[in-house]
Amino acid sequence: MAIFFSYDFHLYRMEKTMLTRNFQVTIPKKIRNQLGLKLGDELRIHAEDGKIVMEPLDEIAWEESPSFLPDNFEKVQEHLRRDASERFRRLGISG
């Protein structure tokens, strides 16, 4: 039995998938094709109103959006990682 819902005068067929043992999901082929998803594409995922929402990550928009970040942000990230690793080591916590 297929489930249909109407939105904006279009009829859409709901697809079904399952969580695997490692909490992974397979995006149905019809949806992958519809969105032009390819192996290795990145998706943005978040919870919204009790639903899981996955959206293709627009690389161009993502690269342009962090204009508020300093030019040396990668160096800042690396410094923070090293600092956290050192703190964990001193506390006897291994990652």
25-71 pLDDT, tens digit per residue, is 999 999 899 888 999 888 888 899 999 888 888 765 555 556 667 77
Q: Which residues make Cβ contacts (< 8 Å) with residue 54, sequence separation at least 6? A: 27, 43, 44, 45
Q: What pLDDT, on the 0 to 100 scale, is given for residue 6?
A: 47
CA 8 to chain CA centroid, nearest Å: 27
Q: What pLDDT, on the 0 to 100 scale, is given for residue 61?
A: 55
CATH fold of 4-57 reads: Pemi-like Protein 1; Chain: D (2.10.260)
Give the C-alpha separation, 69 to 42, whole Å: 21
Main-chain phi, psi angles of 21, to 5 degrees: -55, -30
Q: What pLDDT, on the 0 to 100 scale, is given for residue 65?
A: 57
Residue ranges of the domains in the chain? 4-57, 68-95
Mean confidence (pLDDT) of the chain: 79
- Residue labelled with tokens 């969580």: 19
